[in-house]
Amino acid sequence: MGLAVVAFTFAALALYLAQLRQAPDTIHHDLWEQPAEVAAQRPVAPTSWSFDFAPISAILQNVRVDEQGRLVLEPYLARVLEGATSILPTDLDDANLERLAQLIDIEMPGLAGETLSKLLVNHYRYRQAANAAGQASAATDSRATLENDIALKRKFFDEATVQAVFGKGIMLKSYLLARRAVNEDDALDEKQKKLRLAELSARYNQILPSQD
């Protein structure tokens, strides 16, 4: 009886191993499997992640989509992009950035998600370039630094995006630089400075609200 059980066990094991060899694609060694609706995407092992998508996803929920399903390009989007990219590791490679874009496309299917994923990846690369150039922490230090930052943005975003998303921030930085220049101008007395500052304030108050 005992020998029969052993023989049966070995026979069953041999059959199981044969089935595994015939269908290797059905074996998953500790792999995370994506939901059925995105089964076409390749599985990703948990150890291959270089970032946590959950907090990024929470930030991206704040974007606006219009009635046609398009991402609304507005100044607030700059804050969303900055918030999301600021919590990502600074050394993501192309494969991780591709995965990031893919996850956004999955979570927000359609034109809005496609646009958002491209903007976020481009903003991440913009931040990398700005950090390498030493501009990230000195965006308002000088007029030249601001001009360099604008030029850098134009390398990663089209002109329409620069104007719609980053235009207000650029104008605000320009305004603050102009105010500082007036305050530091020793050729002006206090009365002249006060007048110049009032003129600047009036001018920028007319421009900035129109970009909200």
- Per residue in 141-175, pLDDT (tens digit) is 688 889 999 999 999 999 999 999 999 999 999 99
d(CA 92, CA 106): 20
Chain centroid, CA 160 distance in Å: 18
- Per residue in 62-85, pLDDT (tens digit) is 999 999 999 999 999 999 999 999
- Per residue in 10-52, pLDDT (tens digit) is 444 444 334 434 433 333 333 333 444 444 454 544 446 678 8
Mean pLDDT across 122-151: 82
pLDDT at 133: 82
Helix, strand, coil % in the chain, rounded to nearest 5 = 70, 0, 30
Q: Which residues of 56-73 are buried (b: 16+ CB within 10 A; e: fewer)?
A: beebbeebebeeeeebeb
Taking only Cα atoms into account, the Rg of the chain, rounded to an integer number of angstroms, comes to 27
pLDDT at 150: 95
- In three-state form (DSSP H/G/I as H, E/B as E, the rest C), the secondary structure along 27-95 is CCCCCECCCHHHCCCCCECHHHCCCCHHHHHHHHCCCCECCCCCECCCHHHHHHHHHHHHCCCCCCCHH
Token pair, residue 72, equals: 């609304």
Token pair, residue 145, equals: 């630094």
Is this model's pTM higher than 0.85 or not? no
Task: Assign residue 65 a region (left: φ > 0; alpha: ψ between -120 and 50; beta: otherwise).
Answer: beta
Residue ranges of domains in the chain: 49-133
d(CA 161, CA 181): 29
Chain centroid, CA 61 distance in Å: 12
Q: Are 65 and 72 in contact (CB under 8 A)?
A: yes
Q: Are 125 and 156 in contact (CB under 8 A)?
A: yes
**Least confident among 44-53, 127-136, 189-198:** 44-53
